[in-house]
Structure 1
Amino acid sequence: MQGVRWIIAAMMLALALSGCDGGDNPVGRELNEDLEPDIEKLDLNRRDIFPGEQLRITWRSSGAFLFVAKLYFSSDPVPSADDLLVIEEECSNDSGDHCTSDEDVDWFCRYRSDNFLSCEEDNDLISLLDLTTFFDQLPKDTNLILELCNDDECETRVRDITFH
């Protein structure tokens, strides 16, 4: 019975801290250490993208409430140092953060005719990349990798896309 009370108390504390930006609180960080980020959803509005078009990336996570979200383009489905990092964002349950646990996150990336990719979240520019050196040919088949990490615990999801 004592164990159940401790678990309930820890859960209530975690909820209270996450509502008050547990990321700045050492107790919140410690509670988060044992939680793994889980990707519940990764959806794209298109698989083929042409210059001038916008790619909407919608994802949702659960588990850890403090984590780092990364989006890569890769020639294979495994994140590596050779991949092109498109977005890197620290996420928490603070209502002022763009990405939060247990809510849909939408990234909108426009593929411009000058081979630049500009990505926004909540109408804020979060990434601007020149893809010219990434494209060895067009059309370019690539893997879009979403990776969520809490310290050493990471989860990834992969979707195929083609740039034209």
Structure 2
Amino acid sequence: MTATVAKLYDQRTAPRHSVGLDGTLRDDNNRPYEVVVSDLSLTGFIIPGSANLKIPSRIGLGLTGLGGRSAQVVRKDGQGWYGCVFDVPLTDAELNSVVVERPKSTVVSLPWTPDPILDAPSFRDERLSPLIKVLIIAGATGALWGGLAAAVWPSL
């Protein structure tokens, strides 16, 4: 396994940029961890070992200016730093927007459109009043006892 990790580490070809960007990492159980990405490239990033991640494991990384990205943890060095590879590499424009322009806002707007099925009146929560619930239970109980009595009565 060590040879595989070293091979993956040595195959890095994209230039690295020291960035120090705050981000949110989500592990394979979707637990969030606040991290600082210290090194970023088109193909991956390095983070300190603040989270206990397995190698290999699937993670998600949210960065200001990029939004959420899926990645895989591929190595951990002797100081506890994790090396991660993006599932889909960044574009030059995305990397430039984070490295050069340094976005100021930590708010990433998410596209949202109403769902016609879930917002339909038939899916809305329409609860019954307590009185109606009691009447339904009493009626069902009476009907069951009546059916039981009718079934038992002729045999007596």
| TM-score over 0.5 for the pair | no
Which has the larger share of strand?
1
Bigger relative contact order (CA 8 A; separation at least 6):
1
Q: TM-score range with shorter-chain normalisation?
A: under 0.3
- TM-score between the two structures when normalised by the length of structure 2: 0.23
Which has the larger share of helix?
2
- TM-score between the two structures when normalised by the length of structure 1: 0.23
